């Protein structure tokens, strides 16, 4: 039986279980754990591999609004910023397609992994928590999440009855460095078995100032979004919901000539979720999720749309939870995803995706398209990659059980990726040979295992994995200008599966007044795909030239965190991380845009109505740079946060807060950013705000 037919059979069986379970009585009491991993439903203490979680208070205390900004305070996580409007997390030096971005457990399905100027369509304005997931549980999301999964959880779906008829909040804030304003609000209303959720936000800012007082042009941004969720909670405990979301960004792109460049992605997202308990004997829960996304963005120079991206995506995932499979608790899932990507890039302007399907073509390579790697002319055309359709079919199995000294987790996943390319959007004179556009198919298999040992005060965890990732359509096919990054991107149709073997060792010691955590890891890549800066210049515009290459590589690193409770009110912490990423062969083995060593320390004071914190974070010089890459000097950033919260009555409260970022107004360049030379970190920024909860 082929993998397609096998997955199709299991898909149909899982749908049947959902239909059967709709009328089945629910007899077990659901107990909410204090902290849960929302996407998997597991209690935090019931997973072998440590998971980093930021709750609402943690998120609120961070500086910045992008996920990269928010998560960069955690050990091992950096921010691949692109001006002020874009920030995608980099985990242990791994970014792009190796870090999966998810919303309530399903893919964000944007194009942020394709290029650093593309903002992730995941906004934490009204997030309940953000999870960074490692180990076997990443296989629930896809085999490509070698670095980890960042899952943003909000309240658009409700799985349990509301505790009160309605509640919500309204918040407003102002920031000094960019004259930024922010307003956000949320409301949950419950009536009988129905729960409705509504939230929205609006943010805007002007160009910001760097630490040397220079105004960084083309860094203004404007964004808004809204979510509407409708949930039905049946008497037998089952939960069904549907949600509609809209998200719009517009942000400037810093550049060497200070040209008026901007990007404006927008997305409409439809989500469905169904949870059915005990549909048949042996199955505790069937969770089915469906997502449909309509995404587009334009890239502008002045008022001309020089780039246009249209993308539609669908995802379906069904997970069966079996609590008593022998001695194991097991989850089995089927996963299907489909993405249709259309691109136009044209200095004359893109009003629509070009269509040359009516022009005859004999299948020969165009005379004007030559290979820049061989010294030829780099010729851009109005569509640098063909129309592509990517289909992913996958099955995963995650098992977990207690053993004498801790927890054992096992995970396995198989995937099949099929990429279909249609050159009809490309002029015949610029096309490659006909065989270049043949369908590509990649079959991947990933295995992961994690085990913990629990002692009196210590917890030791070891995770090992073998993961495979198929190349994406843009890594294979993009050949032409990329205006937003002011570069020329060459294609590489010879890319194949990327395989990573990893070992991750974590240690936690819990004392009476302290906690010490540490981790060391090693990733060994066969055929690591990275975007290499070539020793070439695009003769059309003088832009740098990149090409995705595939070579063997190693990543090694460590993370640590020490938290000490000085008194009931005062806490002190120290954090740090370091990573080294190198090719196995070559004169210069360093990989590009690898985070430098970082270390931070700070304190937190919490007492009744007050919360105060301060920290200083040091970014070391990054001199281990790739060929044609410049080094970055060291710098440090001092931050502070303070809030005062008081009650108006039993159901209403007000929180007033102040944030201060980069208090000493330091100048620094983020080495992980493609735009570090044009967009340094922001200078001193004071944010004041108020939150009313009811």
pLDDT recorded at residue 380: 63
pLDDT recorded at residue 48: 65
Whether the per-residue pLDDT at 3 is higher than 90: the answer is no
| Structural domain of 150 | 3-693
Q: List the single range of 152-156, 232-236, 379-383, 531-535 with lowest mean pLDDT.
A: 379-383
pLDDT tens, residue by residue, 318-345? 999 999 888 899 999 999 999 999 999 8
What's the CA gap between 395 and 336, in Å, rounded?
Answer: 9
pLDDT recorded at residue 544: 85
pLDDT recorded at residue 14: 39
What's the CA gap between 413 and 141, in Å, rounded?
Answer: 10
State what percent of residues in the chain have pLDDT above 90. Answer: 73
Q: How many residues does the chain have?
A: 694
What's the CA gap between 289 and 274, in Å, rounded?
Answer: 7
User: Beta-strand (E) ranges in 109-206?
Assistant: 129-133, 148-153, 166-175, 180-191, 194-205
How many CA atoms, within 13 angstroms, populate the side-chain half-sphere of residue 562? 7
Whether the per-residue pLDDT at 414 is higher than 90: the answer is yes
Average pLDDT over every residue of 122-135: 94
pLDDT tens, residue by residue, 641-692? 999 999 998 889 999 999 999 999 999 999 999 889 889 999 999 999 999 9
Number of domains in the chain: 1
What's the CA gap between 173 and 74, in Å, rounded?
Answer: 24
State what percent of residues in the chain have pLDDT above 70. Answer: 90
Question: Which has the closest alpha carbon to 394: 456, 451, 446, 471?
Answer: 446
Report residue 35 CA to chain centroid gap.
Answer: 21
What's the CA gap between 233 and 196, in Å, rounded?
Answer: 11
Whether the per-residue pLDDT at 286 is higher than 60: the answer is yes
pLDDT recorded at residue 32: 32
pLDDT tens, residue by residue, 43-67? 556 566 668 999 999 999 898 899 9
pLDDT tens, residue by residue, 259-276? 899 999 999 999 999 999
- Residue 513: give its domain's CATH number: 2.40.170.20
Mean pLDDT, the chain, whole residue set: 89
What's the CA gap between 376 and 359, in Å, rounded?
Answer: 27
Average pLDDT over every residue of 624-644: 95
What's the CA gap between 168 and 185, in Å, rounded?
Answer: 7
Whether the per-residue pLDDT at 10 is higher than 80: the answer is no
Whether the per-residue pLDDT at 22 is higher than 50: the answer is no
Q: Please check whether residue 337 is in contact with residue 391, taking contact to mean a CB–CB distance below 8 angstroms.
A: yes
The pTM of the full predicted model, rounded to 2 decimals, is 0.90
> Hunting for tokens 């780039």 — which residue is that?
307
Close Cβ partners of 297 (under 8 Å, ≥ 6 residues apart): 111, 118, 263, 264, 265, 266, 308, 309
Burial of 561: CB neighbours in 10 Å, binned 0-12, 13-18, 19+: buried
pLDDT tens, residue by residue, 513-538? 999 999 999 999 999 999 888 888 88
What's the CA gap between 128 and 587, in Å, rounded?
Answer: 47
Whether the per-residue pLDDT at 446 is higher than 50: the answer is yes
What's the CA gap between 580 and 309, in Å, rounded?
Answer: 34
Neighbours of 535 (CB within 10 A): 9
pLDDT tens, residue by residue, 367-408? 655 555 555 566 667 788 999 999 999 999 999 999 888 899
Question: Which has the closest alpha carbon to 113: 139, 149, 77?
Answer: 149
Q: Please check whether residue 329 is in contact with residue 399, taking contact to mean a CB–CB distance below 8 angstroms.
A: yes
């Amino acid at each position: 039986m082929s993998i397609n037919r096998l997955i199709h059979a299991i898909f149909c069986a899982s749908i049947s279980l959902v239909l059967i379970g709709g009328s089945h009585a629910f007899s077990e009491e659901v107990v909410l754990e204090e902290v849960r991993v929302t996407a998997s439903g597991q209690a935090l203490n019931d997973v072998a591999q440590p998971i980093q979680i930021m709750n609402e208070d943690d998120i609120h205390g961070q500086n910045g609004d992008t996920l990269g900004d928010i998560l960069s305070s955690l050990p091992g996580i950096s921010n691949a910023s692109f001006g002020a409007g874009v920030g995608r997390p980099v985990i242990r030096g791994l970014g792009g397609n190796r870090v999966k971005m998810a919303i309530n457990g399903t893919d964000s399905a944007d194009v942020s992994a394709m290029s650093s100027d593309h903002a992730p369509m995941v906004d934490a304005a009204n997030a309940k928590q953000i999870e960074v997931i490692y180990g076997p549980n990443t296989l629930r999301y896809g085999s490509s999440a070698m670095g980890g999964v960042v899952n943003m959880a909000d309240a658009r779906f409700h799985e349990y009855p509301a505790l009160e008829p309605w509640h919500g909040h309204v918040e407003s804030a102002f920031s000094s460095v960019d004259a930024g304003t922010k307003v956000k609000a949320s409301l949950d209303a419950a009536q009988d078995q129905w729960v409705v959720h509504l939230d929205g936000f609006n943010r805007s800012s002007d160009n910001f100032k760097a630490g040397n007082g220079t105004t960084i042009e083309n860094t203004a941004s404007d964004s808004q979004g809204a979510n509407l969720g409708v949930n039905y909670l049946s008497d037998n405990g089952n939960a069904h919901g549907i949600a509609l979301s809209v998200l719009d960004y517009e942000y400037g792109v810093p550049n060497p000539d200070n040209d008026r460049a901007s990007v404006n992605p927008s997305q409409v997202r439809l989500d469905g979720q169904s949870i059915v308990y005990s549909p048949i004997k042996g199955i505790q829960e069937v969770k089915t999720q469906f997502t449909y996304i309509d995404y587009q963005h334009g890239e502008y120079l002045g008022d001309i749309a020089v780039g246009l991206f249209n993308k539609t995506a669908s995802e379906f995932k069904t997970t069966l939870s079996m609590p008593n499979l022998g001695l194991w608790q097991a989850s089995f899932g089927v996963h299907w995803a489909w993405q249709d990507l259309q691109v136009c890039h044209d200095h004359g302007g893109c009003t629509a995706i070009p269509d040359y399907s009516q022009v005859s073509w004999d299948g020969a390579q165009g005379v004007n398209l030559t290979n820049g790697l061989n010294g030829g002319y780099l010729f851009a055309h109005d569509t640098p990659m063909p129309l592509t359709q990517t289909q992913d079919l996958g099955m995963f199995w995650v098992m977990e059980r207690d053993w004498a000294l801790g927890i054992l987790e096992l995970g396995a996943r198989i995937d099949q990726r099929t990429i279909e390319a249609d050159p009809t959007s490309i002029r015949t004179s610029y096309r490659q040979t006909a065989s270049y556009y043949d369908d590509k198919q990649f079959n991947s298999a990933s295995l992961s295992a994690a085990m913990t040992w629990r002692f009196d005060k210590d917890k030791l965890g070891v995770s090992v994995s073998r993961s495979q990732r198929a190349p994406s359509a843009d890594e294979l096919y993009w050949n032409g200008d990329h205006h937003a990054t002011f570069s020329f991107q060459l294609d590489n149709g010879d890319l194949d599966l990327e395989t990573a073997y990893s070992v991750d060792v974590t240690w936690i010691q819990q004392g009476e007044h302290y906690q010490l955590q540490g981790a060391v890891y090693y990733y060994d890549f066969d055929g690591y795909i990275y975007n290499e800066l070539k020793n070439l210049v695009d003769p059309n515009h003088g832009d740098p030239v990149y090409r995705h290459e595939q070579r063997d590589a190693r990543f090694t690193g460590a993370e640590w965190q020490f938290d000490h409770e000085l008194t009931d009110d005062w806490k002190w912490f120290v954090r740090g991380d370091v990573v080294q990423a190198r090719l196995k062969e070559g004169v210069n083995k360093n990989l590009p845009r690898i985070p430098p060593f970082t270390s931070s320390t700070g304190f937190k004071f919490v007492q009744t109505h007050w919360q105060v914190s301060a920290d200083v974070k040091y970014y070391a010089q990054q001199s281990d740079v790739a060929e044609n890459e410049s080094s970055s000097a060291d710098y440090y950033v001092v931050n502070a946060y303070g809030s005062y919260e008081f009650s108006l009555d039993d159901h209403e409260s007000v929180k007033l807060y102040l944030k201060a970022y980069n208090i000493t107004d330091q100048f620094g360049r983020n080495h992980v950013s493609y735009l570090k030379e044009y967009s340094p970190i922001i200078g001193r920024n004071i944010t004041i705000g108020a939150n009313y909860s009811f």
